[in-house]
Amino acid sequence: MFSQISILLLLLLCANTFHRSTCDTNLQLLCNEKDRYALQIFKLGVVNHSNMLPSWSTEQDCCAWKGVHCDNTTGRVTRLDLHQQYLEGEINLSLFQIQFLNYLDLSLNGFTTLSAPSPTNITFSNVHFLDLSFNEDLHFDNLNWLNQLSSLKYLNLSQINLQNETNWLQSMTLHPSLIELRLASCHLTNISPSMKYANFSSLLTLDLSGNHFVSELPYWLFNITTISNIDLSFNLLQGPIPKSLLSLRNLECLKLNDNEINGSIPEWLGQHEQLQYLGLSENMFHGSIPSSIGNLSSLVELGISSNLLSGDLPTSLGQLLNLKTLFVGGESLSGVLNEYHFSNLSNLEELILRASFSFDLASDWIPPFQLKGIILRNANIGPNFPEWIYTQHSLEYLEVPNSNISSINGDLFWRFVANIPQVILSKNTISADLTNITLNSLIIFLDQNNFTGGLPHISANVILLDLSFNSFSGPITPLFCHKLGRENILDYLDISSNLLSGGVPDCWEYWKHLSFLFMQNNKLTGEVPQSMASFPKIIILNLSNNSLSGNFSLDLSNLKKLEYINLRGNNFSGSVPTRMPHGMEVMLLGSNQLEGNIPPQLCNLSSLIQLDLSHNKLSGPIPPCFSDIPSWAGAQRTIHYPFQINLYTKGQELQYRDYGLLRTLELSYNNLSGEIPPQIFSLVQLQTLNLSRNHLTGKISREIGSMKNLESLDLSSNKFHGEIPASISSLSFLSFLNLSNNDFAGQIPLGTQILTFSASSYAGNPGLCGAPLPINCTEASGNGNADGSKQHGGSKGEGFETDSLYLGMGVGFAVGFWGLLGSVFLNKTWRHKYIRFLNHVAGQLHVFVVVKFNGLRGTQASFV
Ligand SMILES: *[C@@H]1O[C@H](CO)[C@@H](O)[C@H](O)[C@H]1NC(C)=O
Ligand SMILES: *[C@@H]1O[C@H](CO)[C@@H](O)[C@H](O)[C@H]1NC(C)=O
Ligand SMILES: *[C@@H]1O[C@H](CO)[C@@H](O)[C@H](O)[C@H]1NC(C)=O
Ligand SMILES: *[C@@H]1O[C@H](CO)[C@@H](O)[C@H](O)[C@H]1NC(C)=O
Ligand SMILES: *[C@@H]1O[C@H](CO)[C@@H](O)[C@H](O)[C@H]1NC(C)=O
Ligand SMILES: *[C@@H]1O[C@H](CO)[C@@H](O)[C@H](O)[C@H]1NC(C)=O
Ligand SMILES: *[C@@H]1O[C@H](CO)[C@@H](O)[C@H](O)[C@H]1NC(C)=O
Ligand SMILES: *[C@@H]1O[C@H](CO)[C@@H](O)[C@H](O)[C@H]1NC(C)=O
Ligand SMILES: *[C@@H]1O[C@H](CO)[C@@H](O)[C@H](O)[C@H]1NC(C)=O
Ligand SMILES: *[C@@H]1O[C@H](CO)[C@@H](O)[C@H](O)[C@H]1NC(C)=O
Ligand SMILES: CC(=O)N[C@H]1CO[C@H](CO)[C@@H](O)[C@@H]1O
């Protein structure tokens, strides 16, 4: 619950885990005519593709309609509860005309519009509970329609776009008797920090999480003395925690996590003795953690983290008898934890420390708690695996990545770990031989250690296994061809970056559930068996950087789910495979020995976004039909990727770039000949085009100016001639350009973007002149006439390095973490993109699967 993604996932998952019973109805009473009429008007706007309202028929009394509840003495409709009924279309607020309706829940549907009666015809409604949340495509430009709800007590509009409602707070103060107000992920921007007073007289719960508030904590908040739950997490709030917080004597839950709140964590916070949940993690607090936190005797959940925090963990925390979850993190925290830090924590269930604490615990220490989960990241718990952890018999997850563990008590350790569903030992220096070990956990990360020997065996329980970046050696056959008692369910296997050798075995029929297979960066040899083309579920297959050979002529069209294949850096020969599944998105076949022409069948791959055939022996022309590939040529494109994102903590360096969604075409280092087909210049979505080191000829069409998304263009070392079209200067995203070593001539076009490239981009074209080359056009052509003649045969360009000038792409288009996550919270299509994006980076960040399974268990996800 402390990691950003898991919050998101929990939010997403709650959509699936709602099981409230709909209201039962009473058949004896006849429905009021007016009420029935209003319900029928509402039904007219509802689109029910899946026919979820079959009972709403004229043959039945409306009190018996699904979701309708009538008062059993008056027969008047009092409640309408249609949450999560897959309804779409319009919400007609004629419903408010149902005189005695007091409860209206239309949450978790797909409604797209709201039609409100004209404001001149307001009838005051009795609705006191209104929940329209999680209708993600709904947006309101104003909240005036709320004015007719004079009795409103519970209002939930979470996940509805209120971006254009700047006066939302004023609208809410017109309902001073609100008890619960939830406006999470509404794209709100203005929290009215300077407003002095909001006249809520009964407010208990305020949820404004996941918005875009950039300001100090608002003044008015500290005037609501009734309040007991405040959730302002996942915003951009700044400034210190003001002392006026102390006036909120009823506060039980304060969630300020994932903001930019600074200052120190106040000592006086310890006076909030009734506080049960305190979330301060992922902020910018500095100073040390005050020992007064130990006075918060009701505390059940405590989260504090900030990379600016220093000092150690106060021993007073060991007094928090009710504490179930303790999360502390920060790169600069240090110090030694001993038994006093845990002395009274007998209810502790989750211990999460992401700081370089050391431990001074007796080897026979028996902790007062039985934990469900342990996460000790970046801690100094080594070199031996701590003995006290063996006393914990109910662990659901054990995560000790990057914690200086180098030695484990072999048999004891693997027997202990076999009963824990999720085990993460990444980034330690454990060196052990696992040849005879059988792994049993659902999720196991052993990557980035020093494991040696042969690959371990796995039981049929394992879903995810990551053994990458170790020194496993020998053949992969023992793992793959080891028959398990029952069908295995392995979904994700990463054995990349080891010293594995030998051939690829023919045992793939045991691996029917594999979706992700990473075997790159090993020493595998020989041919790939035909049976490998029979994975029914494989999505990502990476065999790159091995020494695999043979004719890669497999018919891959049976791998119906395959989206990503990477065979780069092997010795595969033969022609480019023509039979591929239709969903193929990324096809990386570079650096092999492939021969022949580029097959036009590739143009049938309607989802293709990346194609790399570079460094092969391909010959012939570039197929003009590339313009049939919709993701390259298509006109519609809503968001310009790439974005930069840091999945772990906000405000740090880029950790991931969205290569998965980049549209690239790389054909460099082949023997391609002929001219560039003019259609190529219509690939408006393409971001990278690399045709260098071929024998291509002809001129560059001025149509190149229409490739508006191009970020990197490399045409170097071919035989292109003619002028560089001036339209190239309109490619406003272009950040890498290499036209060197051709026969281009004339003046280099002027233009804002083009001027940012240095002379090396143009070197080796004797006929070119003008900035940035140190050759004046007048001088060069002798007569001010740059017509492409080559009389100025300077060899100045020869010395330029043209191969390794790749500068990176898309500078300046970074969308911060919030840009992404904020949108993800909001919009279904984005959410799908995000999930897809996680799929794509699974190999690098291990996010997706962990999130997937953690989410199902309902506990926090964590990332390696
Ligand atoms: C009416 O409903 C209330 C609760 O909603 C129940 O206690 C009562 O027995 C019901 N009366 C009749 C006549 O069904
Ligand atoms: C909503 O219902 C009213 C009747 O209360 C009706 O006049 C109006 O046309 C409906 N709105 C839409 C958009 O159908
Ligand atoms: C306004 O309210 C009156 C009385 O309820 C009703 O007769 C009339 O149809 C309403 N007008 C509109 C535009 O909804
Ligand atoms: C919306 O908020 C109300 C009031 O706080 C709450 O009862 C309801 O469960 C929330 N709805 C959803 C879908 O979370
Ligand atoms: C907000 O207003 C802008 C400008 O009028 C509009 O383009 C945008 O679609 C609106 N957003 C929503 C969610 O209504
Ligand atoms: C609360 O404040 C609003 C203005 O923000 C005002 O219109 C309303 O009358 C006030 N209500 C009470 C009960 O003071
Ligand atoms: C809130 O602030 C206003 C103005 O500063 C003050 O009049 C009022 O008494 C305060 N209310 C509470 C409950 O503190
Ligand atoms: C694995 O087991 C075999 C047979 O029991 C034994 O010969 C071998 O030494 C063991 N290897 C390791 C690394 O323990
Ligand atoms: C890994 O193990 C090898 C051989 O056992 C050893 O030479 C090497 O120093 C170890 N590396 C680390 C980082 O412990
Ligand atoms: C290039 O031409 C400009 C005038 O157009 C002149 O000022 C400059 O000295 C020339 N540079 C060289 C290197 O000849
Ligand atoms: C209650 C309701 O509107 N039901 C309709 C759902 O859609 C089907 C056809 O798709 C209609 O037949 C139902 O009357």
Q: From the CB of 43, is ligand 11 less than 6 Å away?
A: yes
85 Cα–ligand 11 center, Å? 13
Name which residue sits closest to atom 9 of ligand 10, judged by CA.
Answer: 776
The conformational region for residue 347 under phi > 0 = left, psi -120 to 50 = alpha, else beta, is alpha
Q: From the CB of 66, is ligand 11 less than 6 Å away?
A: no
For residue 776, the ligand 10 atom closest to its alpha carbon is 1
Q: How far apart are CA 244 and CA 388, in angstroms?
A: 43
* The CA-based dihedral angle spanning residues 696, 603, 724, 814, taken in that order and rounded to the nearest 10 degrees: -130
Q: Write down the pLDDT at residue 779.
A: 52
Q: From the CB of 798, is ligand 8 less than 6 Å away?
A: no
What residues are paired with 376 via a beta bridge? 353
864 Cα–ligand 9 center, Å? 22
* Mutation pick for ligand 11 pocket among 46, 48, 60 (CB with most ligand atoms within 8 Å): 48
For residue 433, the ligand 8 atom closest to its alpha carbon is 13
Q: From the CB of 411, is ligand 8 less than 6 Å away?
A: no
**Ligand nearest to the CA of residue 38, numbered in listed order:** 2
89 Cα–ligand 11 center, Å? 13
What is the CB < 6 Å shell around ligand 7? 196-197, 223, 225
* Mutation pick for ligand 6 pocket among 167, 172, 199, 201 (CB with most ligand atoms within 8 Å): 199
Q: Write down the pLDDT at residue 31.
A: 81
Tokens 């007094």 sit on residue: 319
Q: Write down the pLDDT at residue 652.
A: 26
Name which residue sits closest to atom 10 of ligand 7, judged by CA.
Answer: 223
47 Cα–ligand 11 center, Å? 8
Q: Write down the pLDDT at residue 121.
A: 58
In sequence order, which residues have a C-beta less than 8 Å from that of residue 401 and are 6 or more positions away? 377, 378, 424, 425, 426, 427, 428, 445, 864
Q: How far apart are CA 94 and CA 185, in angstroms?
A: 27
Q: For 812-832, give the DSSP string.
A: T----HHHHHHHHHH-HHHHH
- Neighbouring CB atoms inside 10 A of 789's CB total 15
For residue 140, the ligand 5 atom closest to its alpha carbon is 14
Return the domain boundaries, the chain: 270-408, 794-826, 827-864
Q: From the CB of 166, is ligand 5 less than 6 Å away?
A: no
For residue 43, the ligand 11 atom closest to its alpha carbon is 3
For residue 97, the ligand 3 atom closest to its alpha carbon is 5
Q: Write down the pLDDT at residue 599.
A: 94
* Mutation pick for ligand 3 pocket among 121, 124, 125 (CB with most ligand atoms within 8 Å): 121
Q: Write down the pLDDT at residue 714.
A: 95
The model carries a pTM of 0.75
Q: From the CB of 199, is ligand 6 less than 6 Å away?
A: yes
Q: Write down the pLDDT at residue 48.
A: 67
27 Cα–ligand 1 center, Å? 13
pLDDT average per 10 residues of sequence, the chain (864 residues):
31 29 46 88 81 75 90 90 88 88 92 78 80 87 84 93 89 93 92 89 94 92 95 93 94 93 94 94 92 96 92 95 94 93 96 92 93 91 91 94 90 94 93 92 93 93 93 93 79 94 88 88 93 82 94 81 90 92 88 95 88 96 92 56 30 34 88 95 90 96 89 94 90 87 90 70 90 75 38 31 20 24 30 34 27 23 25
Q: How far apart are CA 864 and CA 859, in angstroms?
A: 16
Q: Write down the pLDDT at residue 428.
A: 95
For residue 435, the ligand 8 atom closest to its alpha carbon is 13
Angle at alpha carbon of residue 815, lines to 635 and 758, rounded to 5°: 80
Burial 249-268 (b: 16+ CB within 10 A, else e): eebbbbbbbbbbbbeebbee
Angle at alpha carbon of residue 652, lines to 4 and 334, rounded to 5°: 85
Q: Write down the pLDDT at residue 609.
A: 84
Q: From the CB of 45, is ligand 2 less than 6 Å away?
A: yes
Q: Write down the pLDDT at residue 289.
A: 95
CATH class of segment(s) 270-408: alpha beta
Q: From the CB of 173, is ligand 6 less than 6 Å away?
A: yes
Query: Cα-flanking dihedrals φ and ψ of residue 154, to 5°?
Result: -125, 120
134 Cα–ligand 2 center, Å? 23
Q: Write down the pLDDT at residue 830.
A: 33
428 Cα–ligand 9 center, Å? 12
For residue 225, the ligand 7 atom closest to its alpha carbon is 13
For residue 187, the ligand 5 atom closest to its alpha carbon is 13
92 Cα–ligand 2 center, Å? 6
Q: How far apart are CA 623 and CA 365, in angstroms?
A: 71
- Going by C-alpha positions, the residue among 689, 781, 783, 700 that lies closest to residue 742 is 700
**Ligand nearest to the CA of residue 26, numbered in listed order:** 1
Structure tokens at 89: 């279309």
**Ligand nearest to the CA of residue 93, numbered in listed order:** 2
For residue 161, the ligand 5 atom closest to its alpha carbon is 13
Q: For 496-558, give the DSSP string.
A: -SSEEEEPPPS-GGG-TT--EEE--SSEEEEPPPGGGGG-SS--EEE--SSEEEEE----GGG
For residue 51, the ligand 11 atom closest to its alpha carbon is 6
Q: Write down the pLDDT at residue 487.
A: 78
273 Cα–ligand 7 center, Å? 23
The CA-atom distances, in angstroms, between 611 and each of 63, 596, 709, 715, 843 are 60, 16, 17, 17, 19
In sequence order, which residues have a C-beta less than 8 Å from that of residue 161 and are 6 or more positions away? 138, 139, 140, 186, 187, 826
Q: From the CB of 429, is ligand 9 less than 6 Å away?
A: yes
Reported as half-sphere exposure (CB side, CA atoms, 13 A), residue 579 has a value of: 10
